[in-house]
Chain A
């Protein structure tokens, strides 16, 4: 028998979940509100911000005038898509071999890869900065693409490994019995079955790369700066530009937020690492 849940409990649960959701969403909402105010209004007390002032799109115009939004936007797209494609090229064969032809130390290799994510990135900032300086990669989109690819590679390999593991071995054996070569097996059976998993891996990786701030801010100046560096440029020490900072943030997060919204279903599956179907 299913557990009985009274209507009262249901209403309370819904209210609690709604409140929690609102709290989590509130910072984003507040940024959107501030972006629609003048600088003078934006630094007033919260209630006055809400009810005691007018609304304006001026901040967006000023942000676009003072810096080239589309350059940063195209940098962000280049870096996040580029690092994802590059990462997949390495991760698919790596995950495939670990999932289907495991060796004695496969588990250790996987753990070792994940352990690199436990290190604070700032720990390798100096060596990477020096390598970039000497290789002429500072403030280039290629350099940033490579770094972000490396940063996210362990996660992509893990995700793909988990998805590949879910594909029953008997199906691949059936393909072998049916006369498929290794190429045929990968092309006609494995890949089509892995596509949902790969899609969510791609999505998650694009989001992670899009939002990555540490490396993008530290390794870029003017040319290759993506949207994260663009937001950071508005939190300058000479003064508080709440409205413009908010407007820049809204412009930076809007594309990825919209993409995330439309691909929620895939994302949830991706974030749970294939634990639920």
Chain B
């Protein structure tokens, strides 16, 4: 079981309020991602759940029991740190065994769980090495192994992939997702990378300055962002925001249109501009269009290869049913 509830949880560092009172519910078995720009309080929130930071006020409940004052060791949660935080003086085997050793599990049980974890994480060959002799990806897997063997109520991940190179990151992302499917245990995952959030999460919590901007499934956030911040944060490339007369036509202060929801044509269209930079990726073409009032540059994502170059004249047409409308306060107009 791993149902976690935050009730009016608040955190101050000295006089600075990092997290204003906040409520959040995480269901058992859910994969929840905290996402937001750096300094938004997402890591602090995770550390509050872990018990590594004390709450200033409010309650944290784990499986219905108040855990606000419970020390981290007793909360039954396992954490994977950004820096892996492996014990450098211990072999991989001892690293993975450490939480079980602290819990005084029998040697046979320890060995059994180590073998099982090592097998599922492809670490069997490396059990007798020290962390210093492993690559970044392997170290990450050891850190995950150390978390799995505890059979925790929930896993906490603090930007676990940000020290890995791009190719490895995609691989580990899949491994963690698969792990979640297999174990069916609650996972809370902190990242600043919205691609990680979109691909892994059952539920995304978007944070800004300690405040929850929106909670929802990846597609909900993509389709119905509740405000300008979420609209701009979720989706890559970023949503285009257009102000002025074009927005007023739709009865909004700002309209947003995603780059993939714009049609391009060299002959006719709603708005006319010139191509600034065209990025040819093969599968897609990203075109940055200049000269459109209210939005400069406008980014367009066209499927496949589009033969346009710098300086070419281009016509763009947003798909009207996919235009997002926001009022003066930046909130979505339903």
Contact = CB atoms under 8 A, between A and B. Distances in A.
Interface of A: 168, 170-171, 173-181, 184, 188-189, 192-193
21 contacts: A168-B85, A170-B83, A173-B72, A173-B79, A174-B79, A174-B81, A174-B86, A174-B87, A175-B87, A176-B52, A177-B73, A178-B78, A178-B150, A179-B73, A179-B74, A179-B99, A179-B102, A179-B103, A189-B87, A193-B88, A193-B89
B13 to A, nearest CB: 14
A162 to B, nearest CB: 18
Contacts of A179: 73-74, 99, 102-103, 150
Given A173-B52, A188-B98, A180 B73 contact: yes
Interface of B: 50, 52, 71-74, 77-79, 81-83, 85-89, 98-99, 102-103, 146, 150
A179 B103 CA distance: 7
Nearest to B75: A177
Contacts of B85: 168, 170-171, 173-174
Contacts of B73: 176-181
A193 B52 CA distance: 21
Contacts, number: 60
Contact of A180 (B77, B82, B83, B102): B102
B89 A178 contact: no
Contacts of B99: 178-179
Nearest to B87: A189
Contacts of B146: 174, 178
A177 B72 contact: yes
Contacts of B81: 170, 173-174
B52 to A, nearest CB: 5
Contacts of B98: 175, 178, 180, 188
Residue of A170, A178, A192 contacting most chain B CB atoms (<10 Å):
A178
Contacts of A178: 73, 78, 98-99, 102, 146, 150
B89 A192 contact: yes
Contacts of B50: 177
Q: Closest 4 CB pairs between A and B? A: A174-B85, A178-B99, A179-B102, A170-B85
B72 A176 contact: yes
Contacts of A174: 79, 81, 85-87, 146
Contacts of A193: 87-89
Given A184-B102, A188-B98, A177 B79 contact: yes
Nearest to B99: A178
A177 B79 CA distance: 7
Contact of A177 (B78, B88, B89, B103): B78
B89 to A, nearest CB: 5
B54 to A, nearest CB: 13
Nearest to A196: B89
Question: Which residue, of A168, A171, A175, A177, has the highest number of chain B Cβ atoms within 10 A?
Answer: A177
A184 B100 CA distance: 13
B71 A168 contact: no
A178 B148 CA distance: 11
Contacts of A188: 87, 98
A189 B89 CA distance: 8
Contacts of A173: 52, 72, 79, 81, 85
Nearest to A170: B85
A168 B88 CA distance: 11
Contacts of B72: 173, 176-177
A177 B52 contact: yes
A173 B82 CA distance: 12
